[in-house]
Amino acid sequence: MTDLTRKTATELAQSLRAGDFTSTEVTRAHLDRIESVEPTINAFITTTADAALATAADVDRKRAAGEDLHPYAGVPIALKDLVVTQGIRTTAASKMLENWVPPYDATVYQKVQEAGLPLLGKTNLDEFAMGATTEHSAFGNTTNPWDTTRSPGGSSGGAAASVAAFEAPLSVGTDTGGSIRQPAAFNGLVGVKPTYGSVSRYGIIAMASSLDQVGPLARTVEDAAALHQILAGHDRHDSTSLTDEVPDFTAAAHAGAQEGLKGKKLGVIRQLQGEGWDVGVIARFNEALELAQKAGAEIVEVDIPSIGYAVEAYYLIMPSEVSSNLARYDGMRYGLRVEPSEGPVTAETVMAATRAAGFGKEVKRRILLGTYALSAGYYDAYYGSAQKVRTLVQRDFAAAFDKVDVLVSPTSPTTALPFGVEDDADPMALYMGDIATIPANLAGIPGMSLPSGLSDGLPTGLQLLAPAREDARLYTVGGAFEAELNGHLGGPILDQIPQL
């Protein structure tokens, strides 16, 4: 039998509809793959084989009975372990929630269940999504399937590695400053951060509420579009949820692949290149631009001057929200509870002991930073100034989108980094690695990373950014770019991943 784990989600969906094989067979193939590669990859914190097979059997039964099913019903999926799942342990990769079994479902998980996608498991991440390497997990590192001495990126490192290692055809991640797009780039995948408010955050363990978005990771633009379609839509449980109709992303991806890049105006962000950017990353980026130009796209240079302050503003706004959101882990309500080893047991001492034991180093660093930035006397100078920069970033993007259809840049200045960088490096240096992705979160606009070829055997990513609520445009242009790049590179780069 052909290896079912090598097929894209769309191929699987088509074959399932045609009756070539059952969802039970597809799900089993992925569970077998998980069993064989997890000792090396560690993409999952929890696997849910029984639940997956139960959903698969249910879909198979309904299909046999001729019931109306979602077009992707029966295609398995993995969820970042920040998505709350009723009855299934949800940890945020933190000791704080090591044994937490949620009493309710996140809206996105409810949608995934309604569509009939069997859940394979919950994937690894940096604790509470804070990090860029998945090394800040209380459950061990995830490795990059392209080179297992390297990190898969983060924070959705497990979500990305699971799809690149053929453990899951689709996965759901979250992106607060790049955590879908950067690991997508480092694993040779397509990853999308939707417009802020267009996918429900209800039941997503909060990192920084004004920046967090949920989105798809997949092997093709079409697969990402199909998953995005399932996830998006208004939710009355999320006060920031947009009421817009969900556009047909799959149709947009198809139209793009057909129409190509002719006549599209692409804006190259001048601030996202130059010193500090890997030579190979820039080379692949310039080749993509040349291809686009040959295909009839118009390339213009644009300035987003406020990008020069974006990372600094993010590292004030994000920790401020983190310090407030993580106040709920107090040892009283749910999650870990640790009593002090000596002295009186009071609310305060339990809280202190619980938080000292439950949070890792990076989470503590950000809580301290945020608490400081919000304290009386510093609030205006730090948080207030950062909010002003945020407004400037939004204005700069709005002005740029008056001139072009989409903005383009490399997704990250580097390819996947070796392990240990988080320990040795100055945290600021690592934080700067997110310079290309953070601005979109500050502005609330959608972004996509798609594979743009290899540099020294490691994947690079091409980032596309569109105006808020124009996520469909990412799929049109992304579909066109993917077709061009596959033609140029001789097929999807994932075909070149070393065997595990």
> Whole-number minimum distance, CB 80 to ligand GLN, in Å?
10
**Nearest CB to ligand GLN, comparing residues 177 and 335:** 177
83: region left, alpha or beta (phi > 0 left; psi from -120 to 50 alpha): beta
Residue 37 or 161 with smaller CB distance to ligand GLN: 161
Query: Measuring CA to CA, which residue among 224, 81, 77 is closest to residue 142?
Result: 81
Residue 247 is classified by DSSP as P
Stretch that binds ligand GLN, among 175-183, 194-202, 298-306, 414-422 (CB under 6 A): 175-183
Chain centroid, CA 409 distance in Å: 18
In angstroms, the first-to-last Cα distance of the chain is 19
| Interacting residues of 338 by C-beta distance below 8 A, sequence separation 6+ | 331, 350, 353, 354, 356, 357, 358
Min CB(428)–ligand GLN separation in Å = 12
By CB under 6 A, is residue 363 in contact with ligand GLN? Answer: no
Select from 71-79, 96-104, 173-181, 298-306 the region that touches ligand GLN (CB under 6 A): 173-181
The answer to whether 204 contacts ligand GLN (rule: CB under 6 A) is no
Q: What six digits make up the tokens of 70?
A: 């979602």
Q: Of 286-325, which residues contact ligand GLN (CB under 6 A)?
A: 318
Q: Are 208 and 314 within 8 A, CB to CB?
A: no
Q: Does 414 bind ligand GLN (CB under 6 A)?
A: no
CB of 410 to ligand GLN, least distance (A): 16
207 binds ligand GLN (CB under 6 A): yes
Which CB atom, from 179 or from 449, has the smaller least distance to ligand GLN? 179
User: Which residues have a catalytic role annotated?
Assistant: 80, 155, 179
Q: Which is nearer to ligand GLN, 29 or 316 (CB)?
A: 316
Stretch that binds ligand GLN, among 9-17, 137-145, 172-180, 301-309 (CB under 6 A): 172-180
Residue from 11, 175, 223, 422 binding ligand GLN (CB under 6 A): 175
Which of 169, 177, 231, 125 has the alpha carbon at shortest distance from 8?
169
Cα angle for residues 456, 182, 439 (degrees, 5° grid)? 130
Binding mask 425-464 for ligand GLN (x = CB under 6 A): ---------x------------------------------
Q: Name which of 179 and 460 has its Cβ closer to ligand GLN.
A: 179
Nearer Cβ to ligand GLN (132/448): 132
Contact flag: residue 179 with ligand GLN (CB under 6 A): yes
Establish if 131 lies at the interface with ligand GLN (CB under 6 A).
yes
Work out whether 176 is an interface residue with ligand GLN (CB under 6 A).
yes
Residue 129 DSSP symbol: G
Q: Out of 75, 96, 132, 458, point to the residue binding ligand GLN (CB under 6 A).
A: 132
Q: Angle at Cα 498 formed by Cα 495 and Cα 499, nearest 5°?
A: 100
- The interaxial angle of helices 307-325 and 361-374, nearest 10 deg, is 100
Under 8 Å between Cβ of 171 and 159:
yes
Asked if the peptide bond before residue 155 counts as cis, ω within 30 degrees of 0, the response is yes
DSSP code for 147: B
Q: What's the residue count for the chain?
A: 500
DSSP class of residue 449 equals: E
Q: Which two tokens stand for residue 405?
A: 């259809």
CB of 187 to ligand GLN, least distance (A): 15
The nearer residue to ligand GLN, 166 or 186, going by C-beta atoms, is 186
Task: Give the residues lining the site for ligand GLN (CB under 6 A).
Answer: 129-132, 155, 175-179, 207, 318, 434
